Chains A and B, each alone.
Chain A
Amino acid sequence: MAKKVLETININKYFYDPVKFRVLSDINMSINEGEFVSVVGKSGCGKSTLLYILSTMDTDYEGELLINDVNLTKKTDKDLAVVRNEHIGFVFQFHYLLSEYNVLRNVMLPGIKLAKYPLKEIEHRAMEHLRTLDMADQALKSPNQLSGGQKQRVAIARALINDPIIIMGDEPTGNLDKKNSDMVFDIFNNLVKERNQALLIVTHDPDFAARTHRTIEMADGRIIS
């Protein structure tokens, strides 16, 4: 049986403003390594909220979250930052590259933060990732010289730099046209096949979801299938 990389036990979340409102109810789910999972649902069903809890950035919830068999509930901000740095890669709908740095440096940044490898090695690995994403020739450009699809590929390369066990995406193709969106899907698909990394992608795009291994459908803060 494949190893579980992420598991949730009875996660509940409330919004208190303006009135107390239950956004997530008893979420129990798990993702294995090498699994490509998509989360779909209507706007406001809580899928993004769930993703941010899973990503450890949102800590205001009830229940338990395990990543790589480590219980992350009640860990400090500092410990969670380390987990995010080492085990989780992120791709957002908007590209969120640092405009102060060039493309290569953006990709390298989480690697330098982790400091697992010397700088030269990180640079080499970053170039490798950019090459597989067909972005090697743009490495020294500034992020705002790139198109939307190119930026998203840089963001993916950045998510990969520390070899995370799970990559999460919040509508990574939401802002892209069909062609770029397909390309991003292919990149994700290759990651799962070749690197055995797990992928958890929140999406609005039914075509995209249909092509993943498993689709989690949410409604009113519950997993319905």
Chain B
Amino acid sequence: MNYRLILNIAINLIRARLKQSIIAAVGVTFGIAMFITLLGFMNGLNNLLDGLMLNRTPHVRLYNEVKPSIDQPVLISKDYKGNTNFIQSIKPKDRGREIYNSKAIINILKQDKRVIDVAPKVTAPVFFNTGSIEITGVVNGIDVPAEEHLFKVSDYIIEGNVFDLNNENNTIIIGKGLAEKMLVKIGDVIKITTIKGGLVSLKVVGIMQIGIAEIDNTMSYTSLRTAQMLLGESASYITDIQVKLTDVLMAPAVAKEYKNKFKIDVIDAQTANSQFETGSEVRSIISYAVGITLLIVAGFGIYNILNMMIYEKMDSIAILKATGFSGNDVKWIFISLALIIGIVGGLFGLLFGFSLSQIIDMIPFETSSLPTIKTYPIDYKITYYVIGLTFAICTTAIAGLFPALKASKIDPVEIIRGK
């Protein structure tokens, strides 16, 4: 087959019907541009929301879960072995919240090649005292450099500096909601009651805002040492070990491994945030569905225009067949025609989609809850562009195929004699 000739004829047919061809291509352009923009925007938002959660949660967290002992006395008893035992009113076992041998565990974790860094943490429920009112809250004792490295806590500090926690003893950074409730500002001293009854005064060195009201109303950060002091515990007291991995996808497997290795409760990010995963997945599916619908509509446009073109060009098709073009040749002429429209329209679509994404990327998007975000987030993943173009080519090829088959079956005798 003479591809160059076929392509040449297809191009000439397009040139003869330039206006219609452009309209068909614009349909594809519009579909692809919207597809790219929609997906970029949707996934930009998805990543932002996921990041909000995932960046602040460790990939793997080691802790002591409050739960009953797995080995109940009756199961150990030889007399009842092999029986089905029903035990009622089990209470969780008090193992304390401390992770035993935490120093050794941290050292082992730090040597694991899959681990980026490890951050120990002490969490303690406390009451913040303001006047005669007690507000329930949580104190997080953090290893400031490690926490900053893993979770970029400084992003959420709206006033003050996170490293002041280390510079001065008995200091605290409190959530914005908490600060507003207690009417305190940096430099003020607040009183905290621990659940064991101890009363401690801490100086506020910073105010933080994560953007989730519930957290901002209860959360506070202190240094590891201050938290241990608050609880009256030794320097080895750690309640959580947070681990960030090089690849978050490994988290479930790694969590399982640590669980067996250290005989401790371990949770991975995927399990901890499963509802977020579902949310982003559904949003992705919706954006793909809308994008693909747009492209299919564009495909119908191409189908219509090619069909019309074939009716108009009946004579030309008849003469091509009479002078030695086979049905197959004619079919390829119209398929190439559709593909040219699809590829040109698709490439312009990618360009417009990219431009549109850039425009959205420049629109200011400032919310008090997301201090680091200044404009709408856009995901420029190359995959969307590849999918867009592939889909444009596929839709136009299929849209062109049916008219092309029809053209290939045109009987030249009928046309020539029909005059």
Interface of A toward B, CB cutoff 8 Å:
48, 52, 55, 57-58, 77-78, 80-82, 84-86, 90, 92-94, 96-101, 109-110, 112-115, 158, 162, 170
The chain B residue with its CB closest to the CB of A58 is B413
Cβ-neighbour of A90 out of B15, B323, B327 (below 8 A): B323
- Known contacts A96-B315, A113-B5; is-contact A86 B324 (Cβ 8 Å): yes
Residues of A within 8 A of B323 (CB): 84-85, 90, 109-110, 113, 158
The chain A residue with its CB closest to the CB of B15 is A100
- Known contacts A57-B412, A92-B416, A115-B2; is-contact A110 B321 (Cβ 8 Å): no
> Are A112 and B326 touching (Cβ within 8 A)?
no
Residues of A within 8 A of B416 (CB): 52, 92, 94, 96, 170
> Are B324 and A114 touching (Cβ within 8 A)?
yes
The chain B residue with its CB closest to the CB of A81 is B326
Tell me, yes or no, whether B316 is within 8 Å of chain A by CB: yes
Contact with A along B257-282 (1 / 0, CB 8 A): 00000000000000000000000000
26 A-B pairs whose Cβ atoms sit less than 8 Å apart in the complex: A52-B413, A52-B417, A57-B321, A57-B411, A58-B411, A58-B413, A77-B326, A77-B328, A80-B326, A81-B326, A81-B327, A82-B324, A84-B322, A85-B325, A86-B324, A92-B322, A96-B315, A96-B318, A96-B319, A96-B416, A97-B319, A110-B324, A113-B5, A113-B324, A113-B329, A115-B2
> Are A84 and B2 touching (Cβ within 8 A)?
no
Which of A52, A82, A94 neighbours the largest number of chain B CB atoms within 10 Å of its CB? A52
Residues of A within 8 A of B326 (CB): 77-78, 80-82
Inter-chain contact total with CB atoms closer than 8 Å: 78
> Are B327 and A77 touching (Cβ within 8 A)?
yes
Residues of A within 8 A of B413 (CB): 52, 57-58
Tell me, yes or no, whether B76 is within 8 Å of chain A by CB: no
> Are A78 and B328 touching (Cβ within 8 A)?
yes
- Known contacts A94-B419, A112-B5, A170-B416; is-contact A99 B16 (Cβ 8 Å): yes
Residues of A within 8 A of B48 (CB): none
Tell me, yes or no, whether B13 is within 8 Å of chain A by CB: yes
Q: In the assembly, what is the distance between CA of A181 and CA of B13, in Å?
A: 32
Q: In the assembly, what is the distance between CA of A110 and CA of B12, in Å?
A: 16
> Are A98 and B319 touching (Cβ within 8 A)?
yes
Q: In the assembly, what is the distance between CA of A47 and CA of B171, in Å?
A: 109
Cβ-neighbour of B419 out of A93, A99, A109 (below 8 A): A93
The chain A residue with its CB closest to the CB of B11 is A100
> Are A113 and B325 touching (Cβ within 8 A)?
yes
**7 closest Cβ contacts across the A-B interface?**
A85-B324, A81-B326, A100-B12, A110-B323, A96-B319, A100-B16, A78-B326
